[in-house]
A and B are shown apart, each in its own frame.
Chain A
Amino acid sequence: MQTALRTALPETELAGRANFAPHARVAREERPVQGSGLPLTIRGLRKSFGDNEVLRGIDLHIPAGQFVAIVGKSGCGKSTLLRLIAGLEKIDSGSISFGDAAVQPEDIRVMFQEPRLLPWARVLSNVEVGLGRDRASKDAHARAEQALTEVGLTDKRDQWPSVLSGGQKQRVALARALVSRPRVLAFDEPLGALDALTRISMQRLLERVWRDQGFTAILVTHDVAEAVALADRVLVIDEGRIAHDVVVNAGRPRERGSAELASLEASILSHLLSAEDRT
């Protein structure tokens, strides 16, 4: 159906935006803000917890604005890598740098598997939390409302989080992460707790905001299908090292279940399974 829609669009509209997402076309006057992402360079990164060496030398360069997925069996260190990138853990040795630009705390945001909304704050003020040091500014309300619009929850602005569904809570969490216009957005299994349908619509939403805002996206997931559906590049982590670095060349929007993605998914899964067999 998506292919049909694309061919039906006039050529001029598609020109220059070959990977145009059809649903993003509706009521979106702003051109995508390209190049707002930060590049990320990691050198010789190591991290242990007690005697357990979780990361054993990670070297990685992510160009600005790339969407990278990190997969691996549980306990392989993928979440630790993400927490180190987000500054939630201390680095043992090695370095993480974000290009030459001076990085503000508001530039890097994390979204977790749990929405982590304040139950005692209404939806809008939960989103305002994401503004960081700009919380007190005059346009805080307006910015939070704009972020809510981006995730399609404007009508829930005055609700308590407890009345929202799991998917809606996660969208509020996304709005909170987006409201400060981050340049790097790290996702720690953000869709892990959602049902299959909600998950697919959330994946589309993630892809759309990433394309609109151009941040560098790092997605940790256990779902290989999700990784190949969303990412430009999939990293397979095994025993604290990057075991495989797979480029996903499929155009966007991606057709879920296409032969191209399926074969890529199968090859990544076989990497993961062979890692599993060794242990």
Chain B
Amino acid sequence: MSLIDSVSLPRNFRLPRVDGLVQWIVPLAIVAIWQIACVTGFVPVRVLPAPSDVALAGWKLLLSGELVRNIWVSFWRASIGFLIGGSIGFAFGLANGLSRLSAKLTDTTLQMVRNVPHLALIPLVILWFGIDESAKLFLVALGVFFPIYLNTLHGIRTVDPQLIEMGRIYGMTDSELFRRVIFPGALPSIFVGIRFALGIMWLTLIVAETIAASSGLGYMAMQAREFMLIDVVVLSILIYALLGKLADSASRVLERLTLSWHPAFQKR
């Protein structure tokens, strides 16, 4: 959660219509200052190319189809890895949150594995999978697994026991209790996990693609470095920023839709 979410604005403070644009003022200003700094020669183009040069490089790559292809490959790897790691993490979170036995059996092991930085496994993963697709998917899935596992588990464990008792008194079956009390109660925490996981997803993917890949955004950036194409390197970095923002926005929309009951998401 960003700071803006946690600070509640006074009731009458509203910026109608421009509200959606306000957040873009700072990024646009940075780009403008950057352009001016490059044009005036304050920053040498060999250190940092002007935004216009980066845009031009982007346009060329777009025309050649290379850009779209690489973004698509990276996007595909990110989503599939996220889905695999996320669903396994969610499943373990559910199992360990609902069953003491399951938690006793697996939680210690998972906590130990969690403390290994998953990027430290890259050499091993390359030995196992080569620079195949499965290597990237494995790393992304592993990175995404833990935040989703931990937050699902935490969400389920912290559901108000008084509500669970209430559900039992009113004769809810186990599946009803899960559907109506436990899962909705755990959902805010699960979303925190999803947003953490999205960050880790990009990080892992980019590192993996930089080290061991023959396609994708990370590979594009590495190749550009080989040929001293600094504008393409900067372009890749900007695309990471945009994709990260996009993933975060998507999860926020989902959050708003499913947590409309939550006081923090209610329209004033």
Contact = CB atoms under 8 A, between A and B. Distances in A.
Nearest to A114: B162
A116 B185 CA distance: 13
Contacts of A132: 170-171
A120 B258 CA distance: 9
Contacts of B260: 160
A119 B265 CA distance: 13
Interface string B159-197: 010110111011110000000110011010000000000
B184 A162 contact: no
Contacts of B187: 120
B13 interface: no
Contact of B184 (A86, A105, A120): A120
A86 B170 CA distance: 11
A118 interface: yes
Interface residues of A, number: 21
Nearest to A104: B171
Interface residues of B, number: 21
B171 A133 contact: yes
Contacts of B165: 88, 116
B261 interface: yes
Given A106-B171, A130-B170, A118 B266 contact: no
Interface string B208-225: 000000000000000000
Contact of B261 (A105, A112, A160): A160
B100 interface: no
A110 interface: yes
B11 interface: no
Interface in A14-62: none
B162 A112 contact: yes
A131 to B, nearest CB: 8
Contacts of A106: 171
Contact of A116 (B163, B180, B259, B262): B163
Contact of B170 (A112, A121, A129, A163): A129
Given A112-B162, A160-B260, A160-B266, 20 more contacts: A86-B169, A88-B169, A105-B171, A106-B171, A109-B169, A114-B162, A116-B160, A116-B162, A116-B163, A116-B165, A116-B166, A119-B262, A120-B184, A120-B259, A120-B261, A129-B180, A132-B171, A162-B263, A162-B266, A163-B266
Interface of A: 86, 88, 105-106, 109-110, 112, 114, 116, 118-121, 129-130, 132-133, 160, 162-163, 176
The 7 closest A-B pairs by CB, nearest first: A132-B171, A120-B184, A120-B261, A116-B166, A162-B263, A160-B261, A129-B170
